[in-house]
Amino acid sequence: MLAIKIKQTLRLGSVEKSVVQNKNFLYTIVSYSLILVIFVNLICLQFPLIGLIASVIYFLINAVFLGNTFFEKENAFFRLMLGVLLFIMLLGAVGWLIMTIYNLDVLRFTLVLIITTTLSSILNRRKKHNDAT
């Protein structure tokens, strides 16, 4: 039982390390491409499975960015969970702002996703840059 927990933690830690390093903005580009997949799915395809898979991967990437930025001293599981909660709050705040300015439709929802991805990526890059100096 303990060996299974250790293996799961190691896998989560290695995935998190890969995402946080974000060499050549690879995961940021993946995140933007997932936004494109979500947008196309909302407009044309409307397949729930495609939307679910793209949304889960999108959430995980950006939650890892935010979790590592703000909750560095926690263990990997709590960083991920707190990152997910923080990302949901960020999505809600940006969505509320867009909805206050104008109605929130599919195009503006995509704008919300782009803004939150950009903020998550910038915060991760900034944290990595500050740690290096």
pLDDT for 59 equals: 92
CB atoms under 10 Å from CB of 34, counted, come to 21
Does residue 6 lie within any of the structural domains? no
Residue 14 is assigned to a structural domain of this protein: no
* Both tokens assigned to 107: 């195009």
Average pLDDT over residues 23-32: 84
CA distance 32 to 30: 5
Domain range for 52 is: 23-125
Domain annotation covers residue 32: yes
* Domain contains 101: yes
Asked whether residue 51 is domain-assigned, the answer is yes
**Using 50, 70 and 90 to split pLDDT, how confident is the model at 2?**
very low
Cα distance between residue 16 and residue 41, in whole Å: 27
Instruction: Give the helix/strand (H/E) hosting 129.
Output: helix 106-132
- Assigned domain for 10 exists: no
Percent residues over pLDDT 90 in the chain: 43
Q: Tell me the mean pLDDT in the region 14-25.
A: 72
Q: In sequence order, what DSSP letters do the residues of 29-52 get, joined into one string? A: HHHHHHHHHHHHIIIII--HHHHH
Q: What is the mean pLDDT of the chain?
A: 84
Paired tokens of 80: 């991920």
Contact 41, 123 (CB under 8 A): no
4 is a domain residue: no
Amino acid identity of 97? Answer: L
Residue 47 lies in a domain: yes
Tell me the per-residue pLDDT of 57-103, one tens digit each, with 9 for 90 and over: 999 999 988 988 888 888 888 888 999 999 999 999 998 988 888 88
Domain tally for the chain? 1
